[in-house]
Chain A
Amino acid sequence: MPSSLNNVWLIAKREYLERIRTKAFLLTTILIPLLMGGGGYLAGVLASRTHSTAHIAVLTASTGAGKLFGNDLKHELESAEDSQMTVDVADDTPAARARLDGLMKTGGEHLSAYLQVLPPANPAARPKFIYKPRSSSDIGTFQAIQSGIKNVLTQERLTTLGMKPSEIAALNAPVEIETVGGSTTAAFFGAYGLFFLMYMVIILYSMNTARSIIEEKSSRVFEVLLSTITPDEMLAGKILGVGSVGLTQVGVWMAAAGILGGAFAAASGGLHGQSIFSVGQLVSFVAFFLYGFMLYSSIAAALGAMTNSEQELQQLNMFLVMPLAFCMLCLLPIIKNPDSTLSRVVSLIPLCSPLLMNFRVSLGNPQPWELGLSCVLMTATIFGILWLSSRIYRVGILMYGKKPNLPEILRWLKYS
């Protein structure tokens, strides 16, 4: 046994040192946080500056309430906080409609849509609206108009009830809530960030595990290795070695983030000294991260053992990506209700636990038994997959030049 552990250690050490010395490691360590941070910042900036700037026309009755509504809507859409449209108000005549229809066909004046406001059947009812867009999939413009109409209607109604414009504005101002113990928004985005970090590193390094096995197959080194060590030791060594590289990378990022965060807190006078993440969150992240790594690396190892080239591996990628994509789909329901039955169930699925249970630790209140159960399930799954992988590996590495089909792989499981 000690000799077998020693072999695993030797393989892992070699794998680790070879990878960590590469330029690729250095580059990804520096570039990924830059890209992620930069991308996040850019997306934020863009989102805050993106307003609907479409050019639309509003056709109203030529007099009275209709005309008033048209002008109010124009004001709302042209100068409201999140809308910078150009709005033409015109009388609703067949000639005007024909002109606008023509413009929409030719694309003249960059007209995106026009809105017909028909007077209400009785004074207490709302007017009727007919919306005619140039492209029916332009949802941004549609939503801006929809909320604009609603605001204008509310304002008009409040005015008729006798409220002053300043009172209406005060009523519509955003509410400010101060959260005790740090900002909820920051904590949420922190948890979100951790989710994507884990997602990315898992994909990146499980692919690396698969690649490292293919590389070994194509260089034929393993046949020499197999004359002293077992395929299981080799597999374990590879997973540990490649996995440690990933952990090192994440470690570097976390340390850098910690130092930067600390420096930032110190610079801002220690007022916002609380960290975004609690100790429990970090412990959970590291634990689930390790589990995720082991799970997906062992799947990747099996995929690597089945294939002979990168190209073949690409075709099998979906086995790695699909469970992860499923986790993404489950994000929304979990954000809405972290402790619902649905959230509980999906976060217990072993392939999803690393990402989802960890997410719930940040957002909700998973019970200790849930955490325990998910760990037990994941451990069992890891052993199961490793058992399968090592069998596929054992036979697969000695079969080269030939791509196995499913029945063959099933037959391999019977050999040993």
Chain B
Amino acid sequence: MPIVELLNIRKAYDTKVAVEGLSLTIEPGTMFGLLGPNGSGKSSSIRMMIGITRPDSGTVNLFNRPFDRDALKRIGYLPEERGLYKKMKVLEQLVFMGQLHGLAAHVAETRARAWCERMQIADAIDKKTEELSKGMQQKIQFISCLLHEPDLIIMDEPFSGLDPVNATLLMDTLLDLRKQGKAILFSTHRMDQVEKLCDEIAIIYKGKLVLEGSMKAIKSSYPANRIHVHFTGDASFLDHPAIASAKTYTGLAEIVLNDPHAAQSVLARAIEQGAVITRFEVTEPTLEEIFIATVGESVDA
């Protein structure tokens, strides 16, 4: 049973087409990455998914049924632009958000306290939002969209502005939620995070879907023609005729091969010429490379 199903949706503002012919499906227990350059239609798509705006044409199905506002109580949404009431105390704020999502006040309060404990901000619970650091505010907002135990969690750039410790805390929480069978959709520019977390991805460019599928399938559809070598000593093996291009950093070379089968011969050449290899890895292109390649192709098209 798909959690979200977009069928051929389109949205235009005046003369600008924000989203065109977009279809995608998100299954329960999936971490879904929505990628795309700025202004490509990610936020517009998300807004249509949760009924903030309505598509001009096409269908939005939530929880296997046509869009219905009741379904919104089962969704948690963290918009890219963060917003909290500055003068409200943390607990009041969380209870208010919980109530708006249909929770009774006492249930919301119990859960809010538990979550603050878990997110390590229990000390802040009686403070006003404006007294808190940006990272803390972000955690509060994160909690506010999980209080009502939504089955679909939508997060726009959830890790931006967080230090690595807190980003990891949030990631672990999201992975935990996925394990519980929740569907999680997030949009981000950080390809390394997507690569680490997502089962499925969709790349949108200029309002159109240019690539969609499971991370594994997408990556394996590209040849394993990348080599990452950690080495010391002579770098002249990089002249190997099978190497299409190579970027060298201190003690690291990122190589793109003409011929995916030439990896062994590159390794042999390196040893032969006296380089000391500490790590040698043959891989598919990174998601970032795929992203740039895909979006680049669309630009040409």
Which residues of A line the B interface, CB within 8 A?
3, 7, 10, 14, 18, 219-230, 398, 411, 416
Contact = CB atoms under 8 A, between A and B. Distances in A.
B79 A18 contact: no
Contacts of A228: 72-73, 100-101
A411 B141 CA distance: 34
B50 interface: yes
B107 to A, nearest CB: 15
Given A398-B52, A398-B53, A411-B14, A224 B96 contact: no
Given A3-B102, A398-B52, A411-B14, A224 B97 contact: yes
Contact of A230 (B69, B82, B88): B69
Contacts of B83: 219-224
Contact of B85 (A18, A230, A411, A416): A18
B111 interface: no
Contacts of B75: 227
A223 B47 CA distance: 9
A246 B101 CA distance: 28
Nearest to B84: A221
A223 B79 CA distance: 7
A227 B52 contact: yes
B187 interface: no
B178 interface: no
Nearest to A231: B52
B298 to A, nearest CB: 27
A220 B87 contact: no
B81 interface: yes
A14 B96 contact: yes
B79 A229 contact: no
A229 B86 contact: no
Contacts of A230: 69
Nearest to B141: A224
B105 to A, nearest CB: 10
A219 B84 contact: yes
Contacts of A416: 54
A3 to B, nearest CB: 7
Given A3-B70, A223-B83, 7 more contacts: A7-B100, A14-B88, A18-B87, A220-B79, A223-B77, A224-B145, A229-B100
A19 to B, nearest CB: 10
A227 B81 contact: no
| Chain A interface main SS type | helix
A7 B101 CA distance: 9
A14 B105 CA distance: 13
Contact of A220 (B51, B81, B100, B144): B81
B294 interface: no
Interface in B112-150: 141, 144-145
Contacts of B166: none
B99 interface: yes
Nearest to B72: A228
Contacts of B88: 14, 18
Contact of A227 (B70, B72, B87): B72
A255 to B, nearest CB: 27
A7 to B, nearest CB: 6
Nearest to B82: A220
Contact of A223 (B52, B97, B99, B102): B52
Which 8 interchain pairs have the tightest Cβ spacing?
A: A220-B83, A221-B83, A227-B77, A220-B81, A223-B79, A219-B83, A227-B50, A226-B52
A223 to B, nearest CB: 4
A3 B84 CA distance: 23
Contact of A224 (B47, B70, B102, B144): B144
16 contacts: A3-B70, A10-B96, A10-B100, A18-B87, A220-B79, A223-B77, A224-B144, A224-B145, A226-B52, A227-B50, A227-B52, A227-B75, A227-B77, A227-B79, A228-B73, A230-B69
Contacts of B77: 223-224, 227
A371 B81 CA distance: 48
A226 B78 CA distance: 11
A224 B79 contact: yes
A362 B134 CA distance: 56
A168 to B, nearest CB: 71
B85 A219 contact: yes
B55 to A, nearest CB: 12
B86 A219 contact: yes
A241 to B, nearest CB: 12
Contacts of B78: 224
A70 B51 CA distance: 87
B100 A225 contact: yes
B130 to A, nearest CB: 10
Nearest to A7: B100
Interface in B10-56: 14, 47, 50-54
Nearest to A18: B87
Nearest to A4: B69
Nearest to B81: A220
Contacts of A223: 52, 77, 79, 81, 83
Contacts of B82: 220
A225 B81 CA distance: 13
A335 B14 CA distance: 52
Contacts of B72: 227-228
